[in-house]
């Protein structure tokens, strides 16, 4: 029986498929849950703080106000399973918040937030492009001084080397395409703000880059269709395996992908008395 096609593609699904088709299957088709990680949850927290910051009046967007936004966002996150699931001790929790605060302070080294005119924050976007349903969340959509659109994506992980910049920009190019489709205007600028470095990677979408994005999306979608039809999602071992939550089901680590399929079916059927899959997965994480 062929695998069902995923309902849509997003920038993260596109990079997941191109990084490792099997990890994509576990996540997007078997829909196995992934345990929260410190890095991802810190990213969630910092995004929430910057979202709050940009709701304030421009003159109020100071470093102190941003750190206040971080405290509010941390209080809102405290009971969320994503944070609670990390089960941090006191020292770990203090380090978690200190690192998040550093990222928020670094943000001010990249731009002056009082000059930003955001028209959308954490904006959910969805459209069909060339027969492929695309969706995603734009961290910040804004207007520049000339009234042109700018798409900004915050990144809380490490900045890429120069040769990998293009690949990392592919996600924001998809957002540019979505803006063009939904608003009838191509953004003038798309940018990635790497808060850790800190480093801004900025580019201007063009006819050529837009054609390239469409071509890539079409090729990825066709490859996903083929893989579903042939039930052929191959593992692609790389350094990313160290962060992969699905090692227990991966043949490269002695696992059986069919077990993941069965677990996915059980989860989809809503079997309430199955052992917690997230705990099973958590036990398999790389050191």
Least distance (Å) between residue 242 CB and ligand SF4 = 9
199-203: strand order across its sheet? 117-129, 132-143, 149-155, 189-194, 199-203
The reply on whether position 252 binds ligand SF4 by CB under 6 A is yes
The reply on whether position 240 binds ligand SF4 by CB under 6 A is yes
The reply on whether position 53 binds ligand SF4 by CB under 6 A is no
C-beta closer to ligand SF4: residue 124 or 239: 239
Among 23, 103, 179, 227, binds ligand SF4 (CB under 6 A): 23
Q: Do the bridges between strand 189-194 and strand 149-155 make them parallel or antiparallel, or are there none, so unpaired?
A: parallel
Q: Do the bridges between strand 199-203 and strand 117-129 make them parallel or antiparallel, or are there none, so unpaired?
A: unpaired
Of the ranges 18-26, 58-66, 176-184, 206-214, which one interacts with ligand SF4 (CB under 6 A)?
A: 18-26
Answer for the pair 248, 284: CB distance below 8 angstroms, yes or no: yes
Among 244, 248, 260, 263, binds ligand SF4 (CB under 6 A): 244
- Alpha-carbon gap, residue 147 to 269, rounded angstroms: 49
The reply on whether position 235 binds ligand SF4 by CB under 6 A is yes
Cis preceding-peptide flag for 64 (omega within 30 of 0): no
Q: How many residues bind ligand SF4 (CB under 6 A)?
A: 14
Report the candidate in 284, 280, 243 with the shortest Cα–Cα distance to residue 37. Answer: 243
Among 20, 101, 179, 224, binds ligand SF4 (CB under 6 A): 20
Least distance (Å) between residue 34 CB and ligand SF4 = 11
For the chain, the C-alpha Rg in angstroms (whole number) is 20
**With 0-12 CB in 10 A as exposed, 13-18 as middle and 19+ as buried, what is 210?**
middle
C-beta closer to ligand SF4: residue 157 or 237: 237
**Which residues here bind ligand SF4, judged by CB under 6 A?**
20, 22-23, 235-237, 240-241, 244, 246-247, 250, 252-253
């Amino acid at each position: 029986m062929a695998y069902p096609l995923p309902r849509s593609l997003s920038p993260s699904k596109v990079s997941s498929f191109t990084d490792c088709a099997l990890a994509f299957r576990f996540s997007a088709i078997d829909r196995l849950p992934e345990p929260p990680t410190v890095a991802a949850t810190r990213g969630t927290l910092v995004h929430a703080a910057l979202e709050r910051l940009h709701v304030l009046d421009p003159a109020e967007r100071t470093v102190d106000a941003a750190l206040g936004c971080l405290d509010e966002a941390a209080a809102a996150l405290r009971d969320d399973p994503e944070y609670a699931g990390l089960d941090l001790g006191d020292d770990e929790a203090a380090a978690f918040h200190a690192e998040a605060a550093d990222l928020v302070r670094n943000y001010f080294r990249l731009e002056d937030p009082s000059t930003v005119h955001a028209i959308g924050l954490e904006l959910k976007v969805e459209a069909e492009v060339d027969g492929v349903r695309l969706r995603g969340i734009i961290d910040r959509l804004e207007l520049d001084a000339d009234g042109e659109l700018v798409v900004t994506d915050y990144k809380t992980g490490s900045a890429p080397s120069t040769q990998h910049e293009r690949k990392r920009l592919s996600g924001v190019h998809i957002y540019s395409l979505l803006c063009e489709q939904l608003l009838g205007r191509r953004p003038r600028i798309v940018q990635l703000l790497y808060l850790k470095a800190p480093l801004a990677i900025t580019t201007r979408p063009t006819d050529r880059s837009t054609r390239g994005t469409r071509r890539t999306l079409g090729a990825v979608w066709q490859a996903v269709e083929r893989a579903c039809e042939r039930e052929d999602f191959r593992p692609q071992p790389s350094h990313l395996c160290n962060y992969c939550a699905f090692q227990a089901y991966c043949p490269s680590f002695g696992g059986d992908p069919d077990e993941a399929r069965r677990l996915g079916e059980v989860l989809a059927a809503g079997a309430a008395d199955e052992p917690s899959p997230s705990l099973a997965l958590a036990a398999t994480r790389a050191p």
